[in-house]
């Protein structure tokens, strides 16, 4: 395993080691090992999309919305400040 998710609602995994473009990203979800192919290099502790995230949809990490996709984010893409915008929910 070179990535992890914390909550089943997550649509991003966190790299627990540096991942190179084209490398298989492996993580545990719902008790099963899942794989996606890295579409670009992913720095350790950065996020990678584990499913398609459409522009305007929430990015979910640790079961919590951490922002909105600023553009369509394909599976395997690096998810960071360049493609996620802040979003403050009404409290």
State the pLDDT at residue 3: 97
Q: Euclidean distance between the first and final Cα of the chain, in Å?
A: 37
pLDDT per residue over 27-78, tens digit each?
A: 998 889 999 999 999 999 999 999 999 999 999 999 999 999 999 999 999 9
Contact 85, 37 (CB under 8 A): no
Give 23's DSSP letter: P
The CA distance from 48 to 20, in Å, is: 12
User: At 15, is the pLDDT very low, low, confident or very high (cuts 50, 70, 90)?
Assistant: very high
pLDDT at 91: 46
Measured CA to CA in angstroms, residue 5 lies from 9, 71, 90 at distances of 9, 22, 26
Residue 90 binned pLDDT confidence (cut-offs 50, 70, 90): low
């Amino acid at each position: 395993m070179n990535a992890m998710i914390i909550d089943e609602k997550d649509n991003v995994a966190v790299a627990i080691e540096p991942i190179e473009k084209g490398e298989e990203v492996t993580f545990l979800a719902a008790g099963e090992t899942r794989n996606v192919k890295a579409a670009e290099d992913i720095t350790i502790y950065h996020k990678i999309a584990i499913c398609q995230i459409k522009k305007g949809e929430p990015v979910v990490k640790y079961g919590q919305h951490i922002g909105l996709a600023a553009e369509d984010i394909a599976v395997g893409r690096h998810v960071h400040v360049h493609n996620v915008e802040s979003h403050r929910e009404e409290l």
